[in-house]
Structure 1
């Protein structure tokens, strides 16, 4: 079976239009150009009102679209393979650093970086919050103020999950007396 070029198809359609205009039946004209009626009507629907250069351009675009679709599917498959291979190998902390690096390098949002690396956004936020609560590096301690260098351990009470516990904790905290500050003491005489 021979594939016809776009120029040939447009020329054959014009030939059939000329023969039909002279008073011949379509079935006779179609037999004369060497195709079936089904093929003729398919060609007419596709290339009927086009010029030969536009028909060529159309076929080039269709082949380009096919090539690009194939490339996209190949790249998607490669991405899925890489994500599957790295998802189990990386712990959440390491993925969090990769998310931050991807945000900085590519200028993408946290959502897009987490999606690409297989990190849930809530996990990313929790790890980022934990990293920000850690002590600053030694190079930053020299410029920090004295209150941030406190040796008291941070309050590690669990956070309440519903309003009843929150109310109970608020009332317990209210009953604890607050220490008197030095400026609030009466002057010594």
Structure 2
């Protein structure tokens, strides 16, 4: 997945500019983003503070790591079941 050129802190700052009363089109033009990108960010980060965004990122990373561990454990379990079901 392509990395954003903006960090979570910068994204939240951009959203706060628009919440402060500036027009969405002006904010998008100034930062060189499309309005679709802006609204996608607003759906994901709207109402968050910087500390909350960092915590969200940490939780997403931990969730991905745990999903990977679960998939590996399920694969190991399936291999063991297959081995034990065969007659020697």
* d(CA) in 2 for partners of 1:45, 1:33: 18
Structure 1: which 5+ residue stretches go unaligned? 91-189
Pairing 1:58–2:60 present: no
Q: Report what 1:27 is aligned to.
A: 25
Match for residue 47 of structure 1? 45
Q: Distance in 2 between matches of 1:28 and 1:50?
A: 22
TM-score (norm 2): 0.84
Deviations 1:109-153 (CA, angstroms, capped at 9, x unpaired): xxxxxxxxxxxxxxxxxxxxxxxxxxxxxxxxxxxxxxxxxxxxx
Which of the residues 11, 17, 20 maps onto 2:19?
Answer: 17
Structure 1 length-normalised TM: 0.42
Question: Could you tell me which residue of structure 2 aligns to residue 159 of structure 1?
Answer: none
Max Rg structure: 1
Is contact 1:16-1:30 (8 Å) kept?
A: no
Q: Shift of the alpha carbon at 1:43?
A: 0.8
2-structure distance, mates of 1:71, 1:5:
28
Question: Once the two structures are superposed, what CA deviation does each residue of 1:57-108 show, in whole Å capped at 9, x if it has no partner?
Answer: 0011011111111110111011101110111147xxxxxxxxxxxxxxxxxx
Alignment length (residue pairs):
86
Q: Which aligned pairs between 1:66-105 and structure 2 lie closer than 5 A?
A: 66-89=64-87
